[in-house]
């Protein structure tokens, strides 16, 4: 298992390095950070524009800028922002901590629901439960993420008005002033996560449950499962040790590949619920033509996607020992 893990880690390193180059080149060629400065009326002095170009390292060739930016990453320096007082590295860390607690909880909820619903639908194929889960799956798949988030927000507001108190939080990732200590702060953050988590989790669950159902049906009809039943093993043992373990491999692949889509969905969800997370950070950086901030966001996202796919590769070896010995 150790050799298998080391091979996967070594493969991920050049992929990460290549992603830094692609991220830098695409964002550097997209728009000049001083375009907004030149568009001001009246225009600033040419000397001011030249000093800003030097501060943002725009006077350097592209490859030299990339090399200096890459060296700065090892020191925790993501480059200068168009907002001279903003530390991009510190801001990215704070914003992604907010976003990843939403993504983590949403993925956990979606995975649990997908496994339960997918297994039950496969075991009880063509039953009422199977048809109902299929209908709900396609329903959630067809819903645009921003529209579903808006519906949940309006439903939360209507519910609060009906009961006459603030039960469901619809704005922000936490309250400004919370009294009562650590436990009160924790419950406040958890309360603000309810609606955004439902919005993000149900859209992911819809696709994952269909994959889990198809994978479970394929495994249940395999020869080794029929052999296990013929040997007299208990139904629960066959389902848990022989069927479900193998059926989780395709779901692991889909979950790892969908992380990028979940992060992009979190951007929309945060905008609807007015969270000050990584999604808002990205939208603000794009509107301000803050190239280094956009590069930092894309780099952190790419790093987590690569790490998540690496974790999925390692999980393959846990679920199916034949993979790590191949």
Better-scored residue on pLDDT, 87 or 84: 87
Mean pLDDT score, 101-121: 91
Give the tens place of pLDDT for each residue, 238-296: 777 777 878 888 888 888 888 888 888 888 888 899 888 888 899 888 888 888 898 89
- Rounded Cα distance, 141 and 124, in Å: 22
pLDDT at 2: 67
**Mean pLDDT along residues 58-77:** 87
Torsion of CA 92, 314, 18, 295, to 10 degrees: -10
pTM for the model stands at 0.82
- Sorted by where each begins, the domain ranges of the chain are 2-36+93-324
- How confident is the model over 161-185, as a mean pLDDT? 82
Split at pLDDT 50, 70, 90, the class of 324 is low
The count of other CB atoms within 10 Å of the CB of residue 116 is: 14
Average pLDDT over residues 289-315: 85
User: Where does 2-36+93-324 sit in CATH, by number?
Assistant: 1.10.3720.10
pLDDT at residue 175 is higher than 70: yes
Q: With a cut of 70, say whether residue 1 has pLDDT above it.
A: no
* pLDDT recorded at residue 153: 92
Query: Residue 188 is encoded by which pair of tokens?
Result: 């406040």
| Average pLDDT for the chain | 84
Residue 321 reports pLDDT greater than 70: no
Convert the pLDDT of each residue in 195-226 to its tens digit.
Answer: 999 999 988 888 899 888 988 888 888 777 77
């Amino acid at each position: 298992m150790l050799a298998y893990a080391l091979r996967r880690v070594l493969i991920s390193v050049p992929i990460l390095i290549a992603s830094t180059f692609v991220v830098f080149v695409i964002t550097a060629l997209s728009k000049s950070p001083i375009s907004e400065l030149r568009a001001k009326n009246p225009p600033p002095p040419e000397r001011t524009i030249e000093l800003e170009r030097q501060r943002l390292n725009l006077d350097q060739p592209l490859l030299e800028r990339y090399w200096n930016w890459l060296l700065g990453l090892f020191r925790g320096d993501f480059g200068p922002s168009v907002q001279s007082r903003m530390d991009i590295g510190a801001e990215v860390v704070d914003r992604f901590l907010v976003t990843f607690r939403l993504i983590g909880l949403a993925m956990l909820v979606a995975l649990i629901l997908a496994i339960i619903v997918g297994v039950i639908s496969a075991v009880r194929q063509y039953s009422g439960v199977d048809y109902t889960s299929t209908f709900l799956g396609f329903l959630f798949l067809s819903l645009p993420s921003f529209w579903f988030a808006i519906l949940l927000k309006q439903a939360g507001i209507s519910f609060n008005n009906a009961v006459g108190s603030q039960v469901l939080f619809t704005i922000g990732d936490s309250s400004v002033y919370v009294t009562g200590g650590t436990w009160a702060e924790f419950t406040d953050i958890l309360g603000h996560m309810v609606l955004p988590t439902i919005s993000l989790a149900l859209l992911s669950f819809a696709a994952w449950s269909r994959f889990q159902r198809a994978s479970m049906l394929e495994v249940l009809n395999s020869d080794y499962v029929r052999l296990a039943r013929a040997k007299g093993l208990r139904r629960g043992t066959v389902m848990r040790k022989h069927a479900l373990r193998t059926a989780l491999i395709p779901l692991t692949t889909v979950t790892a590949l969908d992380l990028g889509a979940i992060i992009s969905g979190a951007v929309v969800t945060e905008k609807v619920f007015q969270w000050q997370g990584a999604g808002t950070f990205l939208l603000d950086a794009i509107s301000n033509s803050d190239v280094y901030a956009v590069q930092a966001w894309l780099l952190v996202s790419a790093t987590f996607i690569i790490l998540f796919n690496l974790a999925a590769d390692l999980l393959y070896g846990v679920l199916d020992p034949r993979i790590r010995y191949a």
